[in-house]
Amino acid sequence: MAVFEKKILRKVTLDDTELLTCTIENTQNIHGHTEYVIRVQRGPSPEKSWHVYKRYKDFDALHETLISSGINLPLPPKKFLGNMNREFIAERKAALQRYLNIILQNRYLSMTVSVKKFLDPEHYSLPFEEVALQHVSMVLRGEIYCQILGVDLRLLDTRYFLGLSMGLINFLMIEA
């Protein structure tokens, strides 16, 4: 790319309706801890697959998030001594694979934000609360343009909120 050439950012469309599948393919010992190499695939096409690298503490953080939502799944327990033993790592890898399978077999669990952030951090790494606040502040500061039922609406300098009540579209004007 030339120095003065503009980099064109392309918007990636992401089909969230396609099911995710996971396989813990391998483990690796890095700086005294075990990382699990997980191949994640979206839908049936192998071209839509990627690898994520997770430690046991990442699985534990996901588990704590699910528990706070009222969902308790069988996560293998922590082990402080002997956790670098090959047999133990193989057993834990199999147990973590079962844990992921349980999550992904449940359509509602697999669609939660915490599971998506865990398995697809590239597309779900942004803090949703901050992004939502940015969008709201941009709307309130700028020109609002929307199209409802084929009618173009331009709303300038006053704050309008669109409310839907019993199937009828109502506009409420709030004095600034």
- Could you tell me which of 60, 124, 74, 76 has the C-alpha nearest to residue 103? 74
C-alpha span between 88 and 145 (Å, rounded):
59
Strand partners, 22: 40
Tokens of 8: 């064109």
Percent of the chain whose pLDDT exceeds 90:
34
Helix or strand or coil: residue 21? strand
**For the chain, domain boundaries:** 20-124, 128-174
Could you report the per-residue pLDDT of 123-141, keeping only the tens digit for each? 776 666 666 666 666 666 6
Note the pTM of the prediction, 2 decimals: 0.65
What is the sign of the dihedral through the CA atoms of 120, 128, 74 and 83?
Answer: positive
Neighbours of 36 (CB within 10 A): 22
The pLDDT tens digits of the residues spanning 141-168 come to: 655 454 444 444 444 444 444 443 333 3
- Give the architecture (CATH level 2) of 20-124: 2-Layer Sandwich (3.30)
